[in-house]
């Protein structure tokens, strides 16, 4: 099974609506987990990333740049709003991702806006493919909930 398919399975287990279980969302999850195709899920990391990335300000590697470099999927620059509004916004609502965790006071249009996996989501992701996965999903959904249930 490919990392992309596995990421979609994880999104389903998180309780995201079908619309957020697509390729774009799975690739975004992989980028935020800092995982390439040959990496193991247990090696997932919390790394703050902006949507696009900025060559002048390399503080936050871009999600879109990570996807292009490691999954050869190239999104047009104007796709950043689609990724932000139709993937990351729902990830934040679902408790999978934190928005601006290192600087919550950033303005909406700041070039330094960034996203990072939540601790609860990272535990689930690292357990994928192990006996602990089901229990971690259960705990996540008990403590955080499910976006499907909210909507």
Residue 49's domain comprises: 3-144
Residue 65 in any domain: the answer is yes
Residue 76 in any domain: the answer is yes
Residue 149 in any domain: the answer is no
In CATH, what number is assigned to the domain containing residue 129?
1.10.10.1820
Beta bridge partners of 73: none
Distances (CA, A) of 35 to 29, 107, 110, 111, 135: 9, 29, 26, 24, 22
Residue 91 in any domain: the answer is yes
Number of domains the chain is built from? 1
pLDDT of residue 108: 79
pLDDT of residue 137: 97
pLDDT of residue 145: 83
Q: What tens-digit pLDDT sequence spans the chain (151 residues)? A: 899 999 999 999 999 999 999 999 999 999 999 999 999 999 999 999 999 876 555 566 899 999 999 999 999 888 888 999 999 999 999 999 999 998 999 887 787 889 999 999 999 999 999 999 999 999 999 999 886 665 5
Per-residue DSSP letter, 127: H
Residue 126 in any domain: the answer is yes
pLDDT of residue 52: 83
């Amino acid at each position: 099974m490919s990392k992309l398919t596995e990421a979609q399975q994880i999104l389903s287990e998180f309780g995201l609506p079908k619309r957020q279980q697509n390729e774009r969302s799975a690739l975004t999850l992989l980028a935020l987990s800092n995982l390439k195709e040959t990496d193991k899920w247990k090696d997932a990391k919390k790394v703050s990333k902006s949507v696009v990335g900025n060559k002048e300000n390399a503080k936050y590697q871009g999600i879109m740049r990570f996807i292009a470099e490691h999954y050869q999927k190239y999104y047009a620059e104007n796709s950043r709003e689609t990724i932000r509004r139709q993937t990351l916004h729902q990830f934040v609502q679902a408790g999978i991702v934190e928005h601006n965790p290192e600087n919550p006071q950033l303005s909406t249009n700041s070039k330094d806006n960034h996203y990072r996996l939540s601790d609860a989501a990272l535990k689930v992701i690292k357990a994928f493919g192990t006996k602990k996965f089901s229990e971690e999903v259960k705990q996540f959904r008990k403590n955080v909930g499910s976006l499907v249930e909210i909507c």
